[in-house]
Amino acid sequence: MASKTDLDDAIKELSKKIEGNVNTINGVLSHRLTSVTLVPSVYVDGIPSIVFSSANYTPMVLNASTHVLEPVKGATAVIVSNESTEAKFRLNPATVTKNDIKWDKIAFANDRAQARSTSDTPVKATASDISEGILTVKATKAVSTSLKGDKDFWIVALRVPLSIKDKDGNEDPTYTTDDAVVYS
């Protein structure tokens, strides 16, 4: 026969398990965002990336004597870009709706090269849709130059602010994704 202490310990252990399951169910039912992850459609050198289609053009002239195209003297390169693209992010739980997020406050944080994304961004974010747990964000270039450097590159992380207090009661909680490389 089990002692009173053994029964009390068993009840405490069972209570912990039940509480954990109740918290999980509560999170799903409450639509409270717990994580955001990029759903990459492109990998550049094995790194999840957001890519802007672009071309670098330098005006050329045909050399009459050699019949070879040569850059026009003093001409600067022109970058032609689509200026916007879409990026998709998986929301957890998948039951999160537009009402659960501060829709107009979604933004990219970024940095140049190897650091965590923090400074002013060359890419602006505009949320456009949530469907089946996937948040679609329109990414728009905010600079007219190429986003790819010779030895460095831009990285961005999406910041998604919640419409409600987080589980610890903090005002204006924000979830930030892992970094993604941005190319154009």
Q: Please, which pLDDT band fits residue 32 given cuts at 50, 70 and 90?
A: confident
Predicted local confidence at residue 180, as pLDDT: 79
State how beta strands 180-183 and 47-51 pair: parallel
pLDDT, mean of residues 99-106: 86
pLDDT exceeds cutoff 60 at 78: yes
Length of the chain: 184
Segment 95-108 mean pLDDT: 85
Coil, helix or strand at residue 103: helix
36-61 average pLDDT score: 85
Which residue do the tokens 């850059």 mark?
71
Return the number of other C-beta atoms located less than 10 Å from residue 65's C-beta.
5
Task: Give tens-digit pLDDT for 122-159.
Answer: 778 887 888 888 888 888 877 766 666 555 677 788 88
The mean pLDDT of 90-118, rounded to a whole number, is 75
Which pLDDT score, from 0 to 100, does residue 66 have?
Answer: 92
